[in-house]
Amino acid sequence: MALRTSADNAEDVAAGFRMLRDPLPEHATEITSLIADLYSISTSLTSLDDLTKNRQFRRNVAVAKEDLDLVQTSLKYTLEDIVDFFGDIEVQKGSNREIFKRTWLSLTAFFQKESHEPLPTRLAKYKTFLRELEDLIKDKYPDTPLMSGLRNNLKGLLIQQENRLTPRFGGLSLGTPSSSTTSAEPGSPVSDRRPRNRRSYERARPSHRSPQSPLSPSSGTFSDIPPSAPDAPGSPTTGSTTTTSQSAASNTLVSDHWAKRVFLDEITMTPIPYVGESSKCLGEHSPGVKRWLKDEGFEELFQLAFTGDSDLRIHFYLREDDHRARILCKAPHTARPSEYFCMPLNLLEIVRVGSCLNLCRRRRGGYELVLWANLKFSTIEQMVLFFCTFLALRSQDAGRPVESIRDYELDNEEELFGGQILDDNYLHALRIYRDKVSGAVRLQASVHKGEMKRAPVWTAFITQYLGTRSWIRRPDSKVVVLRELRQTIFMFAADYTPQKTSRGEHILQFTNRADAQGFIETIAELANTR
């Protein structure tokens, strides 16, 4: 993980502590100190990131690399444990003050138990060690005895952190749902901290790549929004084409990206009532955004035209080096220049309202949704594909991952089945959804464990197959075979290969008999109620 990403994560955790400070005035001083230390850690990490890119300090960076890896790895575990406590706030019952109080006490007790010292002491050690590393790299005579003591302490802490995680995963361990309709989402009690070492079947976000040329760092904060600047004249709108891909891409990742194919595949078209506000963007106009995107190394993936009751055009952009994703809205005007609006995907959430998808920003500490763009759809298939593409691109963004994902389900869809499958050697959650408005039925496989949890892997509409003779069979207690399945895949071909028989039939390898049986029964019920 890049040092700048670690810096961003430290700031995110600092922001999370702010929501505890006001409801807990008796702990405000300690919480404020934690926030200050986290920002100090972030500042040091950012400075170290700059130093590692400076050729003047190349030799000293090599000397410090092992220590940098040590503190960064231990800090990563610490920050992720804190985020887990923050994530548990939403699922607890009681008044806000009671919930925050329980969270604070559980959090402080956890760190005291793990390393026999309070969290403030641990953060102070990270902060001091990072500052000494800065001095080491800059030849400013670091305190060698102090560094030696801190190094030994952090090595011991890292052993404690890794020992806490490793023993739980001697093999694949999956819980069995109590019924076939139980969601694939596992519980996560506060008393049993979620492990962080990734298993062989977990998916990880795409790693950062070393840029071929220097790029301005992108932190995922509001500074990602490009500054206003004069823009070159935009190209005229081209008819009512629904989807367009960039004709020439300068790198393999963008030119071969899975997102380019999503809206080109032939799919069924199930209409939904075309009601609600027209497609529009309510963000801040950024005249120079297209030039800014190009200068920052972003390339266009594809574009969609919403021509039903507006001429709004949506463009998705990606930067190869760190998989950062941006959405650009173009609002053409006849009597004046077109307006452009741009946002990082990881600052937006997506909510369905009737036949529209609202792209929203969170404000007031995450408790208020503010509409940024409204997109209107005429078919459920197009809406679902946009929804899944948005979630997948956002989850694969390695710059500043979204935590505590709230928008992983589409409103007005009901989950009829949830189970676990081993899919191309990965553990996925397989669900059956039925849209309450159109009646369309689809399958969706999502990442079930790890840092990309709930990210869509593939979806397939199956309404037309329900009740079809010989479409589904069960050759084994844990295996279901589907004769036909038009999957839309939200991953690179190198990262996912659909499981098929020699005759091209699709294989669903469930992890237990109950899920396989539940899937068969749910499909049968759907066929009988058509």
What DSSP string runs through 71-128? Answer: HHHHHHHHHHHHHHHHHHGGG--S-HHHHHHHHHHHHHHHHHHHHSS-HHHHHHHHHH
Give me the percent of the chain exceeding a pLDDT of 90. Answer: 51
Asked whether residue 340 falls in the same domain as residue 478, the answer is no
Same domain, 421 and 292: no
CA distance 454 to 448: 6
Q: How would you label 306-331 residue by residue, b for 16+ Cβ within 10 Å and e otherwise?
A: beeebbbbbbbbbbbbbbbbbbbbbb
What is the structure's pLDDT at 187? 32
What's the CA gap between 415 and 434, in Å, rounded? 7
User: What's the number of domains the chain is made of?
Assistant: 3
Residue 435 lies in a domain: yes
Domain termination site, one of 366, 401, 436 = 401
Residue 524 structural domain: 412-530
* Residue 483: CATH number of its domain: 2.30.29.30
8 Å CB contact between 413 and 435: yes
Non-local (6+) Cβ contacts of 129 within 8 A are 67, 71, 147, 150, 151, 154
Query: Would residue 174 count as lying in a domain?
Result: no
More confident of the two residues 213 and 28: 28
Q: Tell whether 157 and 42 lie within a shared domain.
A: yes
Predicted pLDDT of residue 220? 32
The model's confidence at residue 229, banded by pLDDT at 50, 70 and 90, is very low
430 vs 428: CA distance, rounded Å: 6
Residues 14 and 72 in one domain: yes
Q: Please state, in angstroms and rounded to a whole number, the distance separating the CA atoms of residues 399 and 205.
A: 10
Put the strands of the sheet holding 356-363 in their side by side order. 280-281, 368-376, 356-363, 349-353
What's the mean pLDDT in 2-22? Answer: 87
Q: What integer pLDDT is reported at residue 244 of this predicted model?
A: 45
If pLDDT is split at 50, 70 and 90, which confidence band does 321 have?
A: confident
Distance CA 24, CA 19 (A): 9
427 assigned to some structural domain: yes
Question: Quick one: 432 and 332 in the same domain?
Answer: no
Q: Mark whether 73 and 97 lie in a shared domain.
A: yes
Q: Residue 407: beta bridge partners?
A: none
Question: Could you tell me if residue 216 is inside a domain?
Answer: no
Residues 254 and 392 placed together within one structural domain of the fold: yes
The answer to which of 145-149, 211-215, 306-310, 411-415 has the lowest mean pLDDT is: 211-215
- 489 or 182: which carries more pLDDT confidence? 489
231 and 370 in a single domain? The answer is: yes
- Measured distance CA(46)–CA(428) in Å, rounded: 36
Reported confidence tier of residue 43, pLDDT bands at 50, 70, 90: very high
| pLDDT for 382 | 95
Among 458, 403, 401, which residue's Cα sits nearest to residue 426? Answer: 458
Would you state the pLDDT for residue 206? 59
Most confident of 153-162, 205-214, 472-481, 491-500: 472-481
At residue 267 the predicted structure's pLDDT band, cuts being 50, 70 and 90, is confident
Mean pLDDT value of segment 204-221: 38
Residue ending a domain, among 115, 147, 165, is 165
Query: 352, 375, 401: which is the final residue of a domain?
Result: 401
Residues 367, 470 share a domain: no
Residue 212 lies in a domain: no
Rounded to whole angstroms, the Cα distance separating 389 from 283 reads 21
Which pTM does this prediction carry?
A: 0.57
166-184 confidence digits (pLDDT tens): 433 333 222 333 333 334 4
Mean pLDDT of 95-106: 86
Residues 299 and 388 in one domain: yes
pLDDT for the residue 53: 86
- Two tokens, residue 89: 């706030």
199 falls within a domain: no
Reported as a pLDDT band with limits 50, 70 and 90, residue 86 is: confident
Q: Sorting pLDDT into bands at 50, 70 and 90, what band is 271? A: very high
Q: What is the structure's pLDDT at 104?
A: 92
**Domain for residue 184, yes or no?**
no
- Whether residue 390 is found in the same domain as residue 242: yes
Q: Is residue 393 part of a domain?
A: yes
Determine the pLDDT at residue 164. 66
Predicted local distance difference test score (pLDDT) of residue 236: 32
- Say if residue 362 is in the same domain as residue 432: no
